[in-house]
Amino acid sequence: MKNTVIIADDSRFMRRWLKQIIENSSYQVIAEATTGLEAVKIYQHYHPDIIILDIVMPKSNGLDALKKIKELDPQANVIISSSLATHNNVTRALQYGAKDFVVKPNFNKLIEIMNNSLK
């Protein structure tokens, strides 16, 4: 059985791109979210192996969603994907429990990062 993934990004283009990369490997995208709130609800419903969160999203950003998901499930494998790779954002994401931080659009190591997050 393939490992399951949820993609949370308010950009349809970015979700499609990520889904294409992810599904060309040994993963299956089971749901998508466009807001931080939706990401938390969908996570609770599906309990995926990995969730990929953008930072800038309406109705609760990715860092708030990350915090909430880790409260609900301390074992959650969360990867932050954002073009806003400021020192502050990266530091906070890792402090809140993200497994890694992928700088958009540098997805060439995404699958490797996903594999490592499951170890």
Q: How many domains in the chain? A: 1
- Tell whether 25 is covered by a domain: yes
By residue range, what is the domain housing residue 28? 3-107
Using the 8-state DSSP alphabet, how is residue 105 labeled?
T
Q: Higher-confidence residue: 60 or 101?
A: 101
Global confidence as pTM: 0.95
User: Is the bond into 105 cis (omega within 30 degrees of 0)?
Assistant: yes
CATH code of the domain containing 60 = 3.40.50.2300
- Tell whether 114 is covered by a domain: no
Q: How confident is the model at residue 84 (pLDDT cuts 50, 70, 90)?
A: confident
The model's pLDDT over 35-81, given as tens digits with 9 standing for 90+, comes to: 999 999 999 999 999 999 999 998 889 999 999 999 999 999 999 99
What integer pLDDT is reported at residue 59 of this predicted model?
86
What integer pLDDT is reported at residue 1 of this predicted model?
81
- Tell whether 70 is covered by a domain: yes
What integer pLDDT is reported at residue 85 of this predicted model?
86
Q: What is the overall mean pLDDT for the chain? A: 96
- Tell whether 28 is covered by a domain: yes
